[in-house]
Amino acid sequence: MSMCSGLESYLNRQLSDVEEEAFLRHLPSCHSCTDAIRRWKEAREALKTAVARRRPKLDDDAVEALVARAGARSGRPHFHLGIVFAGAAALALVVLVGLFSALKFESAQKDDAPPSAPLATKILLPEDMPVPKQDGGRIPLVADDAPLLAETGDGRLGLSPDTRLFVERADTERIDLRLERGRVAVSLPQRPNQPRMSVRVGRLQVRVTGTVFLVEKTHRGRITVAVTKGAVRVVDPGTGEWRVAGGETFQTDAQKQWQLMKMSSETETQTTSLLTPPPPPPQAAPATAPEKLLEAVEEDEREDPSKPAMRKVSKAPEIPEIEDIKQWILDKEYARADRALQSRLRNHPRDPTALELLAIAERKSGQPEKAVSTYRQIIAHGSALERNRARFRAGIILQDRLYDHAGAISMFRACLAEAGVCRSNAAEVKLRLARSLHQNGELEQYERVLRRIVEEHGGTAAAEKAGLELKRLGRHD
Amino acid sequence: MRDLAKGDIRALGDLYQRYGALVAHAVISACPTLPRDEVEEVCQDVFIAVAGAAPRYQESGKLRSWIYSVAARTARKHRRSISLHEKLLRSLKGFPVAISPPRSLPASDSMSRIDLDTGLGALTEVQRQVLILFELEGMSGEEVSELLSIRLNTVWSHLRRARERLVKALDGALPEKGVRT
């Protein structure tokens, strides 16, 4: 075997120890093999680095996130917004009455006047869904794909999708909650005899005395407490205590870095949205084509005159696939795509994929305001990644189509604020932000953002454009 | 897998830690342009699919191959969906396709001069799979052959071409061709 023909076998780890030794001995006298090995080693190292950058971490946080997501999807039927007031439909299975019956009973004893609103908290579940079992004395409240709204007296808890919240204690004195993952909005009016509420999230405890606020914990350990009204105390044992007032947001991460800042209008919208029950679903669409529906009457029931004849609908109208809808939009069949998307959204009103396609169809059919409004729905209810995509795209429409630069600035800033999910296109977002700042007359900010793009994203197309704009200003170094 | 089949979701955590890197490599092979967040999302989709299929899984000592094939299938489905979606976004004038990686990495970072788009994007999917399994997972040619159900000689052939193209891409000799499947 010639030494140079052994190069490939060497790289393929096919040589025996003796052969490998002989091959390595020949290298000092063989420039072509040495060069080929050097170039391959460089390429392999670059490959390793490039793949490592894309490979997700396999740490405890990542495992927890996967287990939580899998648990939330473990074959349980979806349920939509469940909210019960006294006198609601009898088909619902009522849970958690036992938990809050003490509250109801005690409060009735303490207050002379009868309560003006029902005090029991009930959550609607489908009939075939099992009652959540107590988990070590705690009651889990889990929102799967759709948000969940629960009421207690005249207070409310709104859970966004993929949220796990435990009720650890609930009586006339205290309501203790623990947020394991996701986002919960709380509205608790300040009243005499109102039980004190606290929410434990990670290492923090949020103490509430009557307020409207939102708590979020991401799977990367970032915790956010945003107060719309009233005030809360955030306690980090061993570190400190903060008072977070209305209009403020407190944020901390796994490294215990914290900041207190003004609450964005988006966060306020998210809080309000989670605490607002949706409109009741519209009536199911009537059968459009007779051939799609089959009605059968059970023969045996006919034979028994005491039993009413049962009518079975054996085939419901099909809901088109997402890929088909995308193709219709590409083919400019907007009306058809719109009908299909509305049909999907009737069953899952906050499906981010359907909403995004709807926004795209609205944008393409010349309805930019509607498209922005649809993106705002994704921003209110989607995951962090979905929210940021929606912000970016809404910002572009506001900038390019509606010339609403103030609105665009707000969108792009919110996009950048969620830095964890904005890494990949941060430069493009900043460039767009800069342009809107310029159009809005905020020239100092405009220049500052351009400089940041050049400093932080050198080598990118965005940095090149930013450099050109700075040059035009006469500011390029 | 037995625990998972019984409904013990926590067993998924063990599987994730054991096979997470392999699944991530399968996803990156099929979709080399995805950023880390999306790779993580697709990896989660794979393990959720594994959990769903656990009751039907029959132990045959080939769990790694089975998980890899689920990962490759899930990733390809995701790629098809993205491709159609990107087509849709490109049809909107002035609407950039979001979440795209930077066009080039800083020149000073010589160890990572290969941009994933031009480097791995110049390889076919099976070339990427073979290269990543051999070089990064440290599998032997025989193991790669068994995992991908291709002949051993085909593995060596793919490996040779993948190395050639990757080295050329690093030298900048190969023009950008988009992602080859």
Average pLDDT over residues B5-13: 74
- Which residue carries 């299909």 as its tokens? A340
In the block, residue with structure tokens 């009457």:
A297
Q: Please, which residues have CB within 8 angstroms of residue A31's CB and are 6 or more apart in sequence? A: none
For residue range A95-106, list pLDDT tens digits in order.
232 232 222 222
ipTM, 2 decimals? 0.80
Distance from CA of A332 to the nearest CA of B (A): 10
Q: Do B119 and A461 touch (CB under 8 A)?
A: no
Inter-chain touch A55–B132, beta carbons under 8 Å:
no
Residue A87 pLDDT > 60: no
Q: Which chain B residues touch A69 with a CB distance below 8 Å?
A: 44, 48
- Listed range (A246-255, A440-449, A459-468) with the worst mean pLDDT: A246-255
- What confidence category does residue A55 fall into, taking pLDDT thresholds of 50, 70 and 90? confident
- Does position A477 have pLDDT exceeding 80, yes or no? no
- Residue for token digits 């049909």? A343
Render pLDDT for B89-143 as a digit per residue (tens, 0 to 9).
666 655 554 433 333 333 333 334 445 555 777 788 899 999 999 999 889 999 9
The whole-angstrom separation of Cα B68 and Cα B26 is 7
DSSP string, B7-57: T-TTHHHHHHHHHHHHHHHHHHHH-TT--HHHHHHHHHHHHHHHHHHGGG-
Phi, psi of B59 (to 5 degrees): -65, 125
Look at A55 and B28 and tell me if their CB atoms are within 8 Å.
yes
Which residues 6+ apart lie within 8 Å of A66 measured at CB? B12, B13, B16, B44, B47, B48
Hey, is B6 helix, strand or coil?
coil
Show the DSSP H helices in A241-367 as ranges. Answer: 265-275, 299-303, 322-330, 334-347, 352-364
CB of B21 closer than 8 Å to CB of B47: no
- Tell me whether residue A171 is exposed, middle or buried, using C-beta atoms within 10 angstroms of its C-beta: 0 to 12, 13 to 18, 19 or more: middle
Angle between helices A384-400 and A426-439 (to 10 degrees): 30
> Rounded to an integer, what is the distance from CA B121 to the centroid of its chain?
12
pLDDT at A131 over 90: no
Q: Is B26 on the interface with A (CB under 8 A)?
A: no
Higher pLDDT, B166 or B9: B166
Is the CB of residue B13 less than 8 Å from the CB of residue A67? yes
CA distance A215 to A186: 8
Q: Tell if the CB–CB gap between B85 and A326 is shorter than 8 Å.
A: yes
* Local structure of residue A87 (DSSP, 8 states): T
**Residues of A whose CB is below 8 A from B106:** 458-459
| Closest partner CB to B9 (pick from A67, A360, A421) | A67
Tell me which chain B residue has its CA closest to the CA of residue A454: B106
d(CA A142, CA A161): 8
Contact at CB, B35 and A65, closer than 8 angstroms: no
Higher pLDDT, A75 or A4: A4
Per DSSP, what are the bridge partners of residue A203? none
- Cβ contact A54–B159 (<8 Å): no
What one-letter code names the amino acid at A319? Answer: I
Measure CB to CB from residue B13 to each of A51, A67, A457 and give the nearest one: A67
Distance from CA of B31 to the nearest CA of A (A): 11
Mean of per-residue pLDDT scores for chain B: 76
* A46 neighbourhood in chain B, CB within 8 Å: 111-114, 119, 170
The answer to whether the Cβ–Cβ distance between A389 and B160 falls below 8 Å is no
Residue numbers in B near A385 (CB within 8 A)? 37-38, 41
H or E segment to which residue A159 belongs: strand A155-159
Residues A6-40 pLDDT 10s: 899 999 999 888 988 999 998 899 998 999 999 99
Please count the residue pairs, one from chain A and one from chain B, whose beta carbons lie less than 8 angstroms apart: 174
- Top residue of A33, A41, A47 to mutate, by most chain B CBs within 10 Å, is A47
Of residues A50, A63, A385, nearest to B112 (C-beta): A50
Contact A54 B9 (CB under 8 A): no
- CB < 8 Å & 24+ apart, contacts of B13-19: B13/A63, B13/A64, B13/A66, B13/A67, B15/B47, B15/B50, B15/B67, B16/A58, B16/A62, B16/A63, B16/A66, B16/B47, B17/A58, B17/A63, B19/B64, B19/B67
**Residue range A39-45: average pLDDT?**
89
Contacts of B13 in chain A (CB under 8 A): 63-64, 66-67
How far is B106 from A459, CA to CA, in rounded Å? 5
- What six digits make up the tokens of B138? 């440290």
Q: Which residue has the higher pLDDT, B107 or A417?
A: A417
Residue B7: closest C-alpha in chain A: A74
Report the DSSP pairing between strands A163-170 and A204-208: unpaired
First to last CA, chain B: 32
Task: Name beta bridge partners: A152.
Answer: A155
